[in-house]
C-alpha cells in the first residue's frame, strides 16, 4: 500500500504534538485515509535540544532534506513567522508538493500569492490549524456553508488575550498583573505583543473574512486595537452596567455592500454567549443568510488541539493525493481568481454605542463641560455615573458615560476636545459596546 510521506518543518510545541498524534492514532488514521502516514524527516533549528516523539535518525537541521526530497508528498510547516517559513512554503509549492501549515501570520500577509502558486502547481495548501487551533472553523466556512451566504463572523479568536481579560474580570486585577499571570501559566509567550495588540486576532480575522465573503483581503483592511489600555476600573465599571470586556474580532457584510472588519476590545452583555467564553477558550459565531446563527467553541491553541487540526488536514490532502484529486475543494471557498474586491468601511464611519471613562478632578462644572462637548458633536448620553469619591485629595474620580449609537469619527473628535479641558487628568478611554454579541 502506498504511504503518504510527509516532511515536518518545525519541531516545537505543535510539531511534537503532530508527531505524538501520528504515533498514537496511527491505526485509526490509516483506516480512515486508506494508507499509512509516514514521517520521512523532521527539521528543526537548534541542535542538541531535547525533543519528544521523534527518532534521532529522522531529525535534520537542513530544510533541503525535506524540500529537496522527491519522495515527500506533503510538507508540514510549523515554524511560524514570515521568514524563512514563507520561503520554505513557496519552495515546496513550486516543486509541486502540497503543504499543510498552522501559520496565520504568513497566510494573512502573503496568502494570496501562496494560494495562487498552489493552484498553478496543482498542489494543496491546507490551513485549518491557522485559525482557532482545534476548532474546525475553516472547514465549516469552506465546505459546510458552501451553499450559504455568510452575513457576519464574530468571535473571540485569541486565547491569550481572553485569558488575561478573564483573570482581570474574575480577580479585579490590572492588565500588567494578569499578563504576568498568563506568562507564568504558559498562556502568554515571553513576547506577547501580537496577542495583546490585536495583531494575531487580525491575522485570523483576515483569513476568516476572506473565506466568509470570498473577498481578497489583507490585515491592513482591519481596524485593530489591543487590550493594553484596559484597566481593572474599566472591568469593574463595565460590570456595573451589565457588561464584560472581550477582545472581539468582527467581520460583517453591510447592507450598503461594504465590509466592516474590526478587532478591538468591546463591552458585551454579561448574558451573551461570547461573555461566557472564558480563559484560553475561543469561540466563533457565524451568521448565514439561510442557516441563521451558529456557534463553534473550543480550544484555539495548545499542542494537541492544534496538532489535531494539522493531522486532519493531512488526511484530507492524503485522500486528494491517493485519488489524484488535488485542488478538488477550492482552499478558500472559491479559486483565487474568483475572489472579489470588496470595499471596506473606513473606521471613522463605524456606528456603535460607546463606553467612555474620564478621569477628572472632583470639582464643580467638569462633568457639565464634558456633557457640553459631547452634545456639540451630537453624541447622546444614555447613562452616566460618577465614582462616589476620590481615593485621595489629589486623586481623580472616574466618570463613566454610555452613549447612544455614535459615529466613530465624531466620537474621536469630541474626545480630543475633552482631553484639552481643565480638570481632565488622563486621556479619555473609549470602548465600543457590541450588543449583537
Ligand atoms: N502553539 C500553539 O498553540 C499554536 C496554535 C495554533 C497555531 N500555531 C502556529 O503553529 C506554528 C508553530 O508554533 P509553535 O507553538 O509550535 O512554535 P515553537 O514551539 O516556537 O516551534 C517552532 C519550531 O520551529 C523551529 N524553527 C524555528 N526557526 C527555524 C528555522 N529557521 N529552520 C527550521 N526550524 C526552525 C524551531 O526549532 P527549535 O526547536 O530548534 O528551536 C521549533 O522547533 C506557528 O505558526 C504558530 O502560530 C501554534
Domain assignments of the chain as residue spans, ordered by start? 4-133+303-336, 138-299, 347-433
Task: Tell whether the model's pLDDT for residue 406 goes beyond 90.
Answer: yes
Residue 152 and residue 251: Cα distance in Å, rounded?
6
Q: Is the CB of 267 under 6 A from ligand 1?
A: no
Ligand 1 centroid to Cα of residue 57, in Å, is: 20
CATH topology of domain 138-299: Dihydrodipicolinate Reductase; domain 2 (3.30.360)
Q: In what helix (H) or strand (E) does residue 316 lie, and over which residues does it extend? A: helix 303-322
Q: Does residue 238 have its Cβ closer than 6 Å to ligand 1?
A: no
pLDDT of residue 1: 72
11 lines ligand 1 (CB under 6 A): yes
The residue whose C-alpha atom lies closest to atom 9 belonging to ligand 1 is 102
Active-site residue 204, yes or no? yes
Using the atom order of ligand 1, give the atom closest to the CA of residue 302.
Answer: 3
Please classify residue 256 by burial: count the beta carbons closer than 10 Å to its beta carbon, then call 0-12 exposed, 13-18 middle and 19+ buried.
exposed
Question: What's the pTM?
Answer: 0.97
Q: Residue 115 in contact with residue 108, Cβ under 8 Å? A: no
Cα–Cα distance for residue pair 244/271, rounded to 1 Å: 9
* Percent of the chain residues topping a pLDDT of 70: 99
347-433, what's its fold? Alpha-Beta Plaits (3.30.70)
* Model confidence band, residue 435 (pLDDT cutoffs 50, 70, 90): confident
Superfamily of domain 4-133+303-336: NAD(P)-binding Rossmann-like Domain (3.40.50.720)
pLDDT tens per residue across span 282-332: 999 999 999 999 999 999 999 999 999 999 999 999 999 999 999 999 999
Average pLDDT, integer, range 223-244? 96
User: Residues 58, 62, 65, CA angle at the centre, nearest 5°?
Assistant: 60
Amino acid at each position: 500500500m502506498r504511504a503518504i510521506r510527509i516532511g515536518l518543518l518545525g519541531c516545537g510545541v505543535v510539531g511534537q504534538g503532530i508527531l505524538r498524534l501520528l504515533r498514537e492514532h496511527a491505526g485509526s488514521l490509516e483506516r480512515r485515509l486508506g494508507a499509512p502516514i509516514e514521517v520521512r524527516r523532521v527539521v528543526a533549528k537548534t541542535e542538541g535540544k531535547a525533543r519528544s516523539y521523534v527518532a534521532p535518525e529522522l531529525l535534520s537541521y537542513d530544510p533541503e532534506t525535506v524540500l529537496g526530497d522527491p519522495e515527500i508528498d506533503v510538507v508540514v510547516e510549523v515554524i511560524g513567522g514570515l521568514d524563512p517559513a514563507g520561503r520554505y512554503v513557496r519552495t515546496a509549492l513550486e516543486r509541486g508538493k502540497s503543504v499543510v501549515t498552522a501559520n496565520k501570520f504568513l497566510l494573512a500577509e502573503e496568502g494570496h500569492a501562496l494560494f495562487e502558486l498552489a493552484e498553478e502547481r496543482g498542489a494543496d495548501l491546507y490551513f485549518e490549524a491557522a485559525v482557532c487551533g482545534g476548532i474546525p472553523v475553516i472547514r465549516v466556512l469552506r465546505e459546510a456553508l458552501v451553499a450559504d451566504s455568510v452575513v457576519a463572523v464574530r468571535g473571540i479568536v485569541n486565547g491569550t488575550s481572553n485569558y488575561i481579560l478573564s483573570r482581570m474580570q474574575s480577580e479585579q486585577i490590572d492588565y500588567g498583573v494578569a499578563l504576568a499571570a498568563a506568562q507564568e501559566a504558559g498562556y502568554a509567550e515571553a513576547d506577547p505583543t501580537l496577542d495583546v495588540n490585536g495583531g494575531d486576532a487580525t491575522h485570523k480575522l483576515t483569513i476568516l473574512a476572506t473565506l466568509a465573503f470570498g473577498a481578497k483581503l489583507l490585515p491592513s483592511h482591519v481596524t485593530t486595537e489591543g487590550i493594553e489600555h484596559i484597566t481593572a476600573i474599566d472591568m469593574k465599571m463595565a460590570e456595573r452596567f451589565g457588561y464584560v470586556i472581550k477582545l472581539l474580532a468582527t467581520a460583517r457584510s453591510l447592507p450598503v455592500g461594504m465590509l466592516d472588519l474590526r478587532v478591538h476590545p468591546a463591552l458585551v452583555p454579561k448574558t451573551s454567549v461570547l461573555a461566557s467564553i472564558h480563559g484560553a477558550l475561543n469561540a466563533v459565531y457565524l451568521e448565514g443568510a439561510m442557516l441563521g446563527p451558529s456557534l463553534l467553541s473550543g480550544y484555539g491553541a495548545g499542542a494537541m488541539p492544534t496538532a489535531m487540526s494539522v493531522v486532519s488536514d493531512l488526511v484530507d490532502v492524503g485522500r486528494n493525493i491517493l485519488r489524484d484529486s488535488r485542488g478538488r475543494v477550492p482552499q478558500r471557498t472559491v479559486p483565487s481568481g474568483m475572489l472579489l474586491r470588496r470595499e471596506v468601511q473606513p473606521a471613522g464611519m463605524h456606528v456603535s454605542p460607546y463606553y467612555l471613562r474620564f478621569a477628572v478632578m472632583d470639582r464643580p462644572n467638569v462633568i457639565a463641560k464634558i456633557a457640553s462637548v459631547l452634545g456639540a458633536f451630537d453624541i447622546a448620553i444614555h447613562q452616566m455615573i460618577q465614582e462616589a469619591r476620590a481615593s485621595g485629595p489629589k486623586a481623580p474620580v472616574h466618570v463613566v458615560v454610555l452613549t447612544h449609537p455614535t459615529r466613530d469619527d465624531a466620537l474621536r473628535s469630541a474626545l480630543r476636545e475633552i482631553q484639552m479641558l481643565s480638570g481632565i487628568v488622563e486621556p479619555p478611554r473609549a470602548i465600543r459596546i457590541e450588543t449583537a454579541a
